[in-house]
């Protein structure tokens, strides 16, 4: 197993546990990528987009999402400019200062 | 009075004798459209705004739909710290990534209860409240219903040991008078609440079972509006 395959798999296992491998393989299948090692920069960007959109954003809060995504960018070795340009993920409304007030119900 | 985990739903805590027992498993059952999701979301939301880490796991809705529907009943999820109110939309996984029967039933399937438990331990180990809405789609990972029952029991007991007070939902058919779909959820649960909606009655709620506690045993009306859920019992 190459470094990038191993790192990707470890990343998925770290955040998802045992199901991580299956989710990664299916994401790659969806993109018709047969080898992680020979992915183009465009394919890496697509993998980053789909893993963040279809998976990480479905369970991570904003700060942990950013942390996980930065880790993924580093594993995929995507140049910073490229991923900032494609940064379409995760919009969030700012918190109101009184968010810990007692519920009225 | 002994310590209780308050749902924060107006009138419901009174029916329960003060709220849920800490570290208990609580079943909400009812037909489609009776408000199981909104009850569960209200419980999670009220915990989070009071500083208890709360997790809502939805099997059938997209995250943005949950946020939108909650807002209709006055729960503004986007204003709550998302490290305190966590939503896991497993529906997205089911729609986008886990496709074939083999994948759904495989050892690695995220729908398997042992894998879901591992996921919860990794990501939400410090949760105090958890809502699982609903358990019905999880059964498709188990061709043998007996195995599903055993695994569901193990899963719920593990959540209890983690110190989490759980609500889980199950859907029952319109014609049924049961409080379970798989014939065992109500045995696993420490409390069972039945929601029903009929043209002739409107919306009604009944606490069918509450281990170790006095509770109100009658059907009581409830209402869902832009001000939230109101159980009409003082």
State how far the Cα of A41 lies from the Cα of A47, in Å rounded to an integer.
10
Spatial neighbors of A40 by CB under 8 A, at least 6 apart, are none
Residue B125: band (very low, low, confident or very high) from pLDDT cuts 50, 70, 90: very high
Residue A72: band (very low, low, confident or very high) from pLDDT cuts 50, 70, 90: very high
- pLDDT, one tens digit per residue, over B133-160 is 999 999 999 999 999 999 999 999 999 9
List CB contacts (< 8 A) between A58 and chain B: 63, 88-90, 92-93
> Could you give the ipTM of this predicted complex?
0.83
Q: How many CB atoms lie within 10 A of CB B24?
A: 23
CA distances (Å), origin B227, targets A70, B25, B73, B230: 40, 27, 6, 8
Mean pLDDT along residues B103-129: 94
Between A63, A93, A99, which is nearest B49 by CB?
A99
Q: Provide the mean pLDDT of chain A.
A: 78
Three-state SS at B172: coil
Mean pLDDT along residues B69-89: 93
Q: Do B103 and A102 touch (CB under 8 A)?
A: no
**pTM for the full model?**
0.89
pLDDT of A10: 95
Taking the CA of residue A20 and the nearest CA in chain B, the distance in Å comes to 8
Residue A96: band (very low, low, confident or very high) from pLDDT cuts 50, 70, 90: very low
Q: Do B49 and A27 touch (CB under 8 A)?
A: no
**Looking at residue B221, what DSSP letter applies?**
E
Model confidence at A84: pLDDT above 80: no
- pLDDT, one tens digit per residue, over B196-207 is 988 888 999 999
Residue A80: band (very low, low, confident or very high) from pLDDT cuts 50, 70, 90: low
Q: Give the residue from A13, A23, A64, A62 showing the smallest Cα distance to B119.
A: A13
User: In the A/B pair of chains, how many CB contacts fall below 8 A?
Assistant: 103
Taking the CA of residue A40 and the nearest CA in chain B, the distance in Å comes to 22
Paired tokens of A45: 């960007």
pLDDT of A104: 38
Residue B183: band (very low, low, confident or very high) from pLDDT cuts 50, 70, 90: confident
Residue B20: band (very low, low, confident or very high) from pLDDT cuts 50, 70, 90: very high
Residues 33 through 92 of chain A touching chain B, CB cutoff 8 Å: 54-55, 57-64, 92
Taking the CA of residue A25 and the nearest CA in chain B, the distance in Å comes to 9
List CB contacts (< 8 A) between B82 and chain A: 61-62, 92
Helix (H) or strand (E) holding A46: helix A41-54
pLDDT of A81: 61
Between B88, B99, B108, which is nearest A19 by CB?
B108
Model confidence at A85: pLDDT above 60: no
């Amino acid at each position: 197993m190459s470094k990038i395959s191993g790192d990707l798999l470890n990343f998925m296992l770290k955040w998802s546990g045992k199901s991580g491998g299956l989710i990664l393989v299916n994401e790659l299948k969806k993109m018709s990528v047969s080898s992680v090692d020979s992915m183009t920069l465009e394919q890496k960007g697509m993998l980053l987009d789909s893993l963040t959109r279809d998976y990480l954003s479905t369970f991570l809060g904003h700060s942990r999402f950013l942390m996980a995504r930065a880790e993924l960018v580093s594993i995929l070795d995507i140049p910073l400019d490229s991923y900032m340009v494609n940064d379409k993920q995760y919009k969030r409304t700012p918190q109101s200062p009184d968010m810990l007030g007692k519920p009225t119900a | 009075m002994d310590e209780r985990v308050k749902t924060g739903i107006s009138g419901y805590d009174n029916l329960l004798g003060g709220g849920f027992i800490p570290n208990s498993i609580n079943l909400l059952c009812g037909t489609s459209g009776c408000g199981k999701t909104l009850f569960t979301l209200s419980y999670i939301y009220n915990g989070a705004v009071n500083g208890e880490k709360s997790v809502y796991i939805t099997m059938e809705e997209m995250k943005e739909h949950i946020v939108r529907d909650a807002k209709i009943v006055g729960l503004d999820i986007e204003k709550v710290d998302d490290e305190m109110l966590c939503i896991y939309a497993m529906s997205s996984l089911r729609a986008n990534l886990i496709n074939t029967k083999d994948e759904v039933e495989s050892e690695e399937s995220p729908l398997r209860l042992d894998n879901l438990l591992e996921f919860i331990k990794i990501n939400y180990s410090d949760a105090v409240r958890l809502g699982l809405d609903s358990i019905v789609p999880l059964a498709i990972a188990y061709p043998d219903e007996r195995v599903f029952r055993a695994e569901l029991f193990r899963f719920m007991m593990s959540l209890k040991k983690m110190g989490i007070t759980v609500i889980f939902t199950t859907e029952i058919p319109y014609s049924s008078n049961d409080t379970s779909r798989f014939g065992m959820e109500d045995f696993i649960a420490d409390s069972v609440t039945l929601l029903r909606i009929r043209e002739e009655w409107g919306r009604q709620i009944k606490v069918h079972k509450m281990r170790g506690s006095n509770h109100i045993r009658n059907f009581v009306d409830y209402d869902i509006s832009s001000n939230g859920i109101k159980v009409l019992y003082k």
